[in-house]
Amino acid sequence: MKKFILISLLNSLLLAGNIGFVEAQDIHFSQIFETPLLRNPALAGLFSGDIRVQTVYRSQWNSVTNAYSTSSANVEYKLPVIKSTDYVTIGGQVLYDKAGTVDLTSTHILPAINYHKSLSAARSMYLSMAVMGGYVQRSIDRSKITTNSQFNGNAYDPNMATGETFSKSSYSYFDGTAGLSFNTQLGENTDNNMFVGIAYHHFNKSKKVSFYSDYKMELMPKWVASGGLRMSTTDYSFITIEADYTTQGLNREIMGGVMYSQKLDDPDNPKYIIHGGAYMRLNDAIIPVLKVESKPIAVAVSYDVNISGLKKVSTGRGGFEISLIFQKFLEKYNSSSDATRCPKF
């Protein structure tokens, strides 16, 4: 009975959270290093290569209820600006999320463009300015909704009305994000880099974010501040430290972590690299991560070990994620591999 009550409560929260309190329900991933555009579109293009394609799948809270299943795919393509050391990155983010037994789904199609302005003639140092915006649709399977209005005093009766008054099962709106980032090489070693950035999500404050026609709730803007540092420890190894601070309405989230990376062959141009480390979402989860590269392909897996108030029910089980990455230089004229300076991290 307790489990039934908890499942009902969670599904009610999922429904209410996405209908009435959308500002607290933005899609997120634990592998923040594989979803740069979701953090800040000005992080697009900060990699060694001409093209990068990343896809991530996340399954969360299935130990408690059928809660979240989220997929992400993003692509970034760098183009040098003619007669300049500046670059432009064009790309986009596609997101698909399904939540709860009522199949509350969200689909996001968000193209992006990022301009990288060179600030130094001697080394890689760039200020990047980006915008991302596009179409978002949300829908719900009304036939799967159950409420306390369908309790007849003795048992659940599916023939009784749910008591909900919303008339539509889907809605759509335009969403927009703007961002800035700064990245630079540190010292003489071109492998030592850092970046900082800030993004302003939902700057258009669309009010069409409810299944109820007369509902007045608007999509709250969200700020995301990001930072990262990559430093070589030996010719064959390096560490990467990064973190995000997110604020949206009354909600705050701090997430960060560290990865140790070991090159397994050529230290200057390695084909095989293995990465391992851990991230933490403050007061919510500890996230061990393993990533294996065989260029141009890489695979990363992670698992959220729940440490929040839900851990008693979830027994510590949170979210599983797996990502697949394709990243390389293209054999073409004006490849960024021909440049002594280009945005990367």
* Number of domains, the chain: 1
What pLDDT was estimated at residue 316? Answer: 54
In a domain, 345, yes or no: no
Decide if pLDDT at 229 tops 90. Answer: yes
DSSP 183-231: EEE-SS-TT-EEEEEEEEE-TT--S---SSTT-------EEEEEEEEEE
The C-alpha R_g of the chain, in whole angstroms, comes to: 22
- How many angstroms separate the CA atoms of 23 and 11, rounded? 17
In a domain, 344, yes or no: no
- How many angstroms separate the CA atoms of 113 and 130, rounded? 6
What predicted TM-score, i.e. pTM, was given to this entire model?
0.85
Phi and psi, residue 93, nearest 5°: -125, 130
In a domain, 191, yes or no: yes
Nearest to 140 by CA among 102, 93, 100, 166: 102
Decide if pLDDT at 2 tops 70. Answer: no
Residue 312 has which token pair? Answer: 């008693």
Phi and psi, residue 177, nearest 5°: -140, 140
In a domain, 305, yes or no: yes
Decide if pLDDT at 40 tops 60. Answer: yes
- Asked whether 37 and 44 are in contact (CB, 8 A), the reply is yes
Decide if pLDDT at 5 tops 80. Answer: no
- How many angstroms separate the CA atoms of 27 and 56, rounded? 12
- How many angstroms separate the CA atoms of 223 and 249, rounded? 10
What pLDDT was estimated at residue 334? Answer: 62
- Asked whether 257 and 279 are in contact (CB, 8 A), the reply is yes
Domain with 228 in it: what CATH number? 2.40.160.40
Per-residue pLDDT averaged across 236-250, rounded? 95
Phi and psi, residue 236, nearest 5°: -110, 0
pLDDT band at 16 (very low <50, low <70, confident <90, very high): very low
What pLDDT was estimated at residue 7? Answer: 38
In a domain, 318, yes or no: yes
Q: How many CA atoms, within 13 angstroms, populate the side-chain half-sphere of residue 195?
A: 30
pLDDT band at 155 (very low <50, low <70, confident <90, very high): confident
What pLDDT was estimated at residue 234? Answer: 95
- How many angstroms separate the CA atoms of 253 and 264, rounded? 36
**CB neighbour list of residue 209: distance below 8 Å, 6 or more residues apart:** 22, 138, 171, 173, 217, 218, 219
Strand partners, 53: 75, 326
In a domain, 161, yes or no: yes
**At residue 47, what is the residue type?**
F
pLDDT band at 143 (very low <50, low <70, confident <90, very high): confident
In a domain, 343, yes or no: no
DSSP 295-341: TTEEEEEEEEEE-STTHHHHTTEEEEEEEEEEEE--SSTT-GGG-S-
- Domain, as residue range, for 303: 2-338
- How many angstroms separate the CA atoms of 124 and 190, rounded? 8
3-state secondary structure of 268: coil
